[in-house]
Each structure stands twice: as C-alpha cells, then as structure tokens.
Structure 1
Amino acid sequence: MTDPIDRSGLAPRFWERKKLADLSPAEWEALCDGCGKCCLNKLEDEDTGHVELTRVACRLFDDTTCRCAQYDIRHQFVPECIVLKPSNIDSHAYWMPRTCAYRLLWEGKPLYDWHPLISGTPETVHEAGVSMRHRTVAEFEVGEDDWEDHIIEEPL
C-alpha cells in the first residue's frame, strides 16, 4: 500500500533536533504514523479528564488505509474535526493516542521502532498491531450511548 505522506527529503531524525513548534509543515505531517487512532471517537470523563479510545471510527475513516477518506475537505463533513498543529498541541495532546508521535514528542518521549520515520516503511505500524486497520466500526452503525461497549485498550 502506498504511503500518502511524503517523507522524502527530510533530514534524518529531525524530530530529535527540533522543537515541535519549529517543524516545517512537511516535517509535521511526516510525524503521523498512519495508525488511524486520532480518527476514533473518544470518551472523556468529565470529572477526571481521562480519555478512552473506542473502535468507533469517524464516518470519513477508511479502515483499510487508516486514513481520512476526505482529508483535505473533512471540515465540510465533520466541522468538529481538530487539526492538530504546533499552536494547539498543548490543549489537544492529552486526547491523542498514547502511541502517537505528536503526543510522545510533546511528552519528551522517543518514537517507537515501528514508526515509519524509524523503520523506513509505513507498513510497520500495521505489522506491530498498533494501527486500526480492519478493527473499527463506523459511527453510523453504533449509537453514542453504546460507545462504551467499544473501548479499546491503549498501551501504558
């Protein structure tokens, strides 16, 4: 499967030498590992702020490619979709998956060996069992009251 993210021409291990705020747009996009977990509906405890991921995916999520089927125009269909960027990561990183490169770097942690920037191939995220490839249900198939039945475990 072809990786829609162009990681060519980027400096080796740029994420280890630059702050998130200093990344170029191409470097920022290259951090996406293609797991698809950011496109999952989440449940947040109002009292504690604890976030659980569900396997209930956004209506635009393609669980074969683990990508948004309408990425460039997604806000026309899902206005509440958050565009994660250096200027808003402080307020949004907490709800990103624990394995997400953006969250890991924001927390001062290294990327996992299966990340495409380390492995050199976008398939390793799937081979490692981290992605949501073929593991989701569409949000129109599950009522919001039943999302709790679809919580997935995240690594600690």
Structure 2
Amino acid sequence: MKKTEKKRECEAGAPFWESTPLSGMSRKQWESLCDGCGLCCMEKLEDADTGAVYVTSVACQYLDLESCRCRIYENRTYINDVCVELTPASISKYRWLPETCAYRRVLAGKPLPSWHPLLCGSAKKMKKAGATACDRAISGESIHPDDLHRFIDYEVPPE
C-alpha cells in the first residue's frame, strides 16, 4: 500500500473535526462542532485605547437561557447587527472565545474537551462540567447597554 493511500485510509476513520479543516467542513459539520455553551453570546465591551475586551455575565437578549440556544438563530445577523457570526475565517480574530471553544481548539490542532456533545452524545456532561454560560448568565433583555460595565465577568488582555 502506498503511503498516500494509507494516509487516506487513516483519515477516513478519524472524526471529521480531526480530518477536515474548518474551511472544508459542511454546514452540518460546522454547526455540530458548536457545543452550545453560549459563551460567544455574552455581551462584551472593548476598551478602544488598550484593546482589552471585557466579557460580561449578560447574555444577548435573544439567547434562551434554559436551552442555551439562540431564539432567532437563522436570522440573528439581520435582526441583531452586533451578533457575532463565527466563520472559519473569523475564528482567529475573536481572542475572547474560551479555550474550550471547539472551533478554536480544532483551529489550533487540539482535541475537543472530554465533555463535548460530539464525544458524549448530549450536553449533559458539558453542563455538569460548568462549561455553559447559561447557568450563570443574566438576560440582556432588561439591561441597558450603558450599564454593561457593572456586569464585567473577566478581562481578555490585548494581544
């Protein structure tokens, strides 16, 4: 067997996230890679002078805190003009994405967290591990944007 044939054979048995680059994933693969933690849906503030990003405990008003899913997902970028749309090209610019983010990990060649739904079959272990924002977030429905600074959870220093 030629070396290239053997390599293809090994890749065929590997999970798609280990054998397919982010840019080559189908929409279904891309969407399933998201663990649904909701951390990208937390409101953020950025210091224009320093570049520091402050992640708050306030969730986007469209994030359902019970299911940890967007209520307007298919139309989110049209309805909410500040919604973050993660794409293979944009992942690296969002340095505030958590270390556990599957997109970030796959891009860096790291394995998925042991609790990831693709490995476990459900989000139960993720919730048990405390890796979801929805258990500790508050809805942005009643929070004025000028008050977000009161809810700063952590800082992501500038690069």
Q: TM exceeds 0.5?
A: yes
Comparing 144-153 with 68-77, greater Cα deviation is found at: 144-153
Specify the code of the residue in structure 2 equivalent to 1:61. L
Specify the code of the residue in structure 2 equivalent to 1:15. W
Deviation at 1:22, TM superposition (A): 1.4
Specify the code of the residue in structure 2 equivalent to 1:55. S
Q: 1:32 aligns with which of 31, 34, 43?
A: 34
Distance 1:81 1:101, change over 3 A: same
Q: Any unmatched runs of 5+ in structure 2?
A: 1-12
Distance 1:128 1:78, change over 3 A: same
Comparing 34-43 with 132-141, greater Cα deviation is found at: 132-141
Deviation at 1:97, TM superposition (A): 2.4
2-structure distance, mates of 1:21, 1:77: 26
Answer with 1 or 2: which has the greater Rg: 2
8 Å contact 2:77–2:85 — kept in the other structure?
A: no
Deviation at 1:137, TM superposition (A): 1.6
2-structure distance, mates of 1:41, 1:64: 18
Equivalent residue pairs, number: 143
1-structure distance, mates of 2:20, 2:77: 30
Match of residue 73 from structure 1: 75
Match of residue 110 from structure 1: 111
Match of residue 101 from structure 1: 102
- The SS at the match of 2:113 is coil
Deviation at 1:61, TM superposition (A): 0.7
Pair 1:84-2:80 in alignment: no
Q: 2:18 aligns with which of 13, 16, 19?
A: 16
Which structure carries more helix by proportion? 2
- The SS at the match of 1:95 is coil
CA RMSD, 1 decimal: 2.1
Distance 1:152 1:109, change over 3 A: farther
Q: Any unmatched runs of 5+ in structure 1?
A: 1-10
Distance 1:52 1:107, change over 3 A: farther
Q: 2:58 aligns with which of 52, 56, 59?
A: 56
2-structure distance, mates of 1:45, 1:130: 26
Identical counterparts, % of pairs: 42
2-structure distance, mates of 1:45, 1:98: 22
| CA-to-aligned-CA distance 1:32-58 (integer Å, 9 cap, x gap) | 001111111012233443333211111
TM-score with structure 1 length normalisation? 0.79
| CA-to-aligned-CA distance 1:84-116 (integer Å, 9 cap, x gap) | 11133233x313223211112223322110111
TM-score with structure 2 length normalisation? 0.78
Deviation at 1:12, TM superposition (A): 5.4
- The SS at the match of 1:43 is strand
Match of residue 133 from structure 2: 132
